[in-house]
Amino acid sequence: MPNEYYVLIVGYIFGFYMAWNIGANDVANSMASSVGAKAITIRQAVFLAGILNIVGAVFIGSHVTNTIRKGIVSTEVLTDPHLALIGALSALLAAALWVSFATWKSLPVSTTHSIVGAMIGFGIMAGGFTVINWGKLAAVVISWVISPVFSIVISFLMFKIIVKLILSKEDSFVHALKLSPVFIGATFFVVILSFLFKTPLGKKLVVGPYSALLVSFNLAILFGFVGKKALGWLIKGREGGAEAIFRRIQVGTACYVALAQGANDVANAIGPLAVIYFLVKTGSVGATVPVPVFLLLFGGIGIACGIGMAGHRVMETMGKKITTLSNTRGFCVEFAAATTVLVASKMGLPVSTTHAAVGGVLGVGLARGIEAVNFGIIYKIMLYWVLTVPAAAVTSMVIFKILQFFL
């Protein structure tokens, strides 16, 4: 067997390991608040997230990926195929090791920022500091503020609205059911818009920005009223009050975030693997590479395995250790995270689902008062966010040197 095929096998192992870590750490983004609010059990969360991540990765995940994530490192470092191969391998393993360490510590970190940091380490080793786009890196740093702040504001306001219009009323169940089309409709509007507005799927269906808004709005109204009918049919009696209504809505929102996670985050594992695959197959690589469906499936399965085997660790932190979550609060968290990712990404702002999800939890905690938030765990999470890029970069540089010696 030629030497490059051994490299490809190692690439598959590293790629699967990265995908596994994405599942283990990022499942908390979609399912932690549902588990924390007892809408679903950890076992149900693991099953739902595993299936939806595979579906998202295969059917919605991009079939074209940038060879360098987020354009932070100049593609000129890819001109030497041998260096590019070593770089892609070192970036994959370095990012995976950092996410694995954070998961072991039960702390949520951005897998996107991990791969960005690892790519920076590879770029510095292959081409020096001049190949790093420092402006793009500054945008990543800004996202440490943008994502959580956006999400804090949205979840805080949404929870205050729910308190005023529903929870403060004498019969909260009746008011929750009456207003359920608004909350279900708002959720579906964000969900449908996420898939149609300036996306590969929207282009494939020939849906322009205005058409996407119109389609999303009309379907949101339809699903809002259908959802109200379904809730009336599902919930017998008024036991549980408004929380019983939001428990059902919350699970739907969590499923969307899991689906979007599979579609978006699979590229963090499969992007570098696709580079390795095409370097071995063709001997060169361009600024973008096509991603075969089997690689998307491979990544999706890796993510699902990580969710099943270690997803509970970070879920416990986000769902239970930051603040106490109810179903109404959990809905606000997921709605805020989904809306933040949609709005910020469509405005061209750098965004992290992990940071948005943590911001959402913090927002509903603050809505109940500062004493309702465990700031000790928040400080620890933020420290790991700041460490992500430099830790992944340094690890990538060390691995690059080791691989250069052996390959």
Instruction: Please tell me whether residues 41 and 133 are part of one structural domain.
Output: yes
- Mean pLDDT is lowest, of 36-45, 269-278, 347-356, for 347-356
Return the higher-pLDDT residue of 43 and 217.
Answer: 217
pLDDT digits 0-9 by tens, 235-267? 877 777 889 899 989 888 888 888 877 877 888
Q: Which residue has the higher pLDDT, 213 or 69?
A: 213
Residues 128 and 59 in one domain: yes
28-37, 137-146, 161-170, 318-327: least confidently modelled range: 137-146
> How much is the average pLDDT of 207-228?
93
| Confidence at residue 161, expressed as pLDDT on a 0 to 100 scale | 95
Domain range enclosing 214: 172-237
Q: How confident is the model at residue 366 (pLDDT cuts 50, 70, 90)?
A: very high
Task: Kindly indicate the confidence band of residue 13, based on its pLDDT and cuts at 50, 70 and 90.
Answer: very high
Question: For residue 70, what pLDDT band results from cuts at 50, 70 and 90?
Answer: low
CA distances from residue 227 to 174, 187, 297, 330, 396 in whole angstroms, order as listed: 15, 11, 32, 18, 48
Same domain, 362 and 218: no
Domain end among 180, 209, 237: 237
If asked whether residues 246 and 339 sit together in one domain, one would say yes
Beta bridge partners of 290: 64
By the 8 A CB rule, do 257 and 30 touch? yes
Q: Are 136 and 189 in the same domain?
A: no
N-terminal to C-terminal alpha carbon distance within the chain:
15
- Which of 196, 213, 237 lies at the terminal end of a domain, its last residue? 237
Cα–Cα distances in angstroms (integers) from residue 330 to residues 16, 168, 404, in the given order: 31, 18, 47
> Residue 272: pLDDT above 80?
yes
252 and 116 part of one domain: yes
Q: What are phi and psi of 331, to 5 degrees?
A: -60, -45
Q: pLDDT-derived band of residue 198, with 50, 70 and 90 as boundaries?
A: confident
278-289 pLDDT, tens digit per residue, is 888 887 777 777
CA–CA distance, 36 with 225 (Å, rounded to integer): 28
Q: Are 148 and 385 in contact (CB under 8 A)?
A: no
Average pLDDT, the chain: 88
**What pLDDT is recorded for position 365?**
94
* Residue 1 pLDDT exceeds 70: no
Unique residue bearing structure tokens 């995908």: 19
pLDDT class of 275 with cuts at 50, 70, 90: confident
Number of domains making up the chain: 2
Residue 385 has pLDDT above 90, yes or no: yes
| Torsion angle of C-alpha atoms 120, 311, 273, 63, degrees rounded to 10 | -110
Average confidence (pLDDT) over 1-12 = 80
Q: Give me the DSSP letters along 337-388.
A: HHHHHHHHHHTT----HHHHHHHHHHHHHHTT-GGGS-HHHHHHHHHHHHHH
Backbone angles phi and psi of 392, in degrees to 5: -65, -35
Judgement on whether residues 143 and 208 belong to the same structural domain of the protein: no
Find residue 132's DSSP bridge partners: 73
73 and 207 inside one domain: no
pLDDT at position 20 is 95
Residues 282 and 387 in one domain: yes
pLDDT band at 58 (very low <50, low <70, confident <90, very high): confident
With a cut of 60, say whether residue 332 has pLDDT above it.
yes
DSSP 37: T
CA torsion sign for 361, 362, 363, 369 is positive
What span, in angstroms and rounded, lies between the C-alpha atoms of 271 and 305? 19
For residues 275 and 218, membership in a common domain is answered with no
Decide which of 237, 252, 268 is a domain's last residue: 237
List the beta strands (DSSP E) in 60-189: 64-66
81 vs 360, residue with greater confidence: 360
133: helix, strand or coil? coil
Q: Judge if 315 and 360 occupy the same domain.
A: yes
Two structure tokens written together for 152 = 């804090």
Asked if 145 and 129 sit in the same domain, the reply is yes
Q: What is the pLDDT of residues 108-162, one digit of tens each?
A: 999 989 999 999 999 999 888 988 988 888 887 887 788 899 999 999 999 999 9
Predicted local confidence at residue 238, as pLDDT: 74
| pLDDT of the residue at 364 | 95
Q: For residue 67, what pLDDT is reported?
A: 63
